């Protein structure tokens, strides 16, 4: 069977990660969460008191962090490691979420992570989600998806997700963060988030999770 690259981009909180994970499972592909890599880089900057706007700090950070993914043998879930330490829970907290888009504007950080992402997808058979996957990481991806959803719905879903991890965050704060990340991600000079002309757009506001997965799997099977 012909293996392809599936690039899923879109706004924050549209369900890209969970959808990408389910699509990968259905097709027997590898799922790669590029956002987790930017989140792990952010954790490194914060924990080491480095500023993304100070070129010396950026230089110091660049050679010093390594992000990798390992499957948890008990849950079967892929987890994110920073310099050999499991940081999967830490990188999903609001402390990181509030800073990640700022770190993601730094060209030198993006360059390192994009190279790693391209290596991870070299053998194809991958589903990768992010903001610049179809435009920069894999411009030749055989299937590109651009996910959108209404801001209120995205915020409610994200609040439930955080609650399930015992993190109680006000809806307004989540809404503000999602809108702010969309603004920074779409307006930055380095690899801004944008819908590619060859991407299929999926609005997840009014469709079920299973429906959004089925749409992508169907599109993929037409190519494979
Ligand atoms: O996907 P997730 O919401 O975890 O990504 C966190 C942040 O990382 C995004 O808001 C964006 O600023 C950045 N990001 C990026 N490019 C990617 C993936 C994520 O700039 N490919």
Please state the ipTM of this predicted complex: 0.99
CA distance 128 to 34: 7
Atom 1 (ligand 1): residue with closest C-alpha?
A: 35
Measured in Å, residue 1 CA sits from the centre of ligand 1 at: 31
Residue 11 labeled ligand binder: yes
Atom 6 (ligand 1): residue with closest C-alpha?
A: 35
Q: What is the pTM assigned to this prediction?
A: 0.96
**Over residues 204-215, mean pLDDT:** 96
What pLDDT is stored for residue 76 in this prediction? 85
Helix axes 107-120, 34-47, angle to 10 degrees: 140
Measured in Å, residue 210 CA sits from the centre of ligand 1 at: 23
For the chain, percent of residues with pLDDT exceeding 90: 95
- Across the chain, mean pLDDT equals 96
pLDDT tens for 2-61 read 899 999 999 999 999 999 999 999 999 999 999 999 999 999 999 999 999 999 999 999
CATH T-level fold of 5-223: Rossmann fold (3.40.50)
Sorted by where each begins, the domain ranges of the chain are: 5-223
**Over residues 87-97, mean pLDDT:** 95
pLDDT tens for 114-160 read 999 999 999 999 999 999 999 999 999 999 999 999 999 999 999 99
Residue 10 labeled ligand binder: yes
What pLDDT is stored for residue 63 in this prediction? 87
**Alpha-carbon distances of 105 from 17, 63, 70, rounded to whole Å:** 21, 18, 26
Atom of ligand 1 nearest to the CA of 97: 6
Q: Is the pLDDT of residue 1 over 80?
A: no
Q: Tell which residue, 119, 122, 121, 126, has the closest CA to residue 20.
A: 126
Q: Is the pLDDT of residue 215 over 80?
A: yes
- Burial label for 184, CB within 10 Å (0-12, 13-18, 19+), is middle
Residue 121 labeled ligand binder: no
CA distance 213 to 20: 8
Residue 90 labeled ligand binder: no
182: Cβ contacts below 8 Å, ≥ 6 apart:
11, 12, 193
Measured in Å, residue 185 CA sits from the centre of ligand 1 at: 8
What pLDDT is stored for residue 28 in this prediction? 96
CB 158: neighbour CB atoms within 10 A? 21
């Amino acid at each position: 069977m012909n293996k392809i690259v599936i690039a899923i981009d879109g706004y924050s909180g549209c369900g890209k990660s969970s959808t990408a994970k389910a699509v990968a499972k259905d097709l027997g592909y590898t799922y790669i969460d590029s956002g987790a890599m930017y989140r792990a880089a952010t954790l490194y900057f914060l924990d080491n008191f480095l500023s993304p706007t100070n070129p010396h700090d950026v230089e110091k950070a660049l050679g010093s962090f390594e992000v990798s993914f390992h499957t948890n043998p008990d849950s079967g879930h892929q987890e994110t490691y920073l310099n050999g330490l499991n940081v999967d829970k830490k990188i999903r907290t609001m402390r990181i979420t509030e800073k990640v888009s700022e770190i993601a504007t730094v060209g030198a950080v993006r360059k390192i992570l994009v190279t790693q992402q391209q290596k991870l997808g070299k053998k194809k058979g991958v589903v990768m989600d992010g903001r610049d996957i179809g435009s920069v990481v894999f411009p030749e991806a055989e299937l590109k998806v651009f996910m959108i959803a209404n801001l209120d719905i995205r915020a409610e879903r994200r609040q439930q997700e955080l609650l399930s991890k015992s993190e109680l965050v006000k809806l307004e704060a989540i809404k503000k963060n999602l809108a702010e990340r969309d603004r920074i991600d779409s307006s930055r000079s380095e690899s801004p988030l944008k819908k590619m002309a060859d991407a299929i757009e999926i609005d997840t506001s009014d469709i079920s999770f299973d429906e959004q997965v089925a749409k992508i799997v169907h599109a993929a099977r037409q190519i494979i």
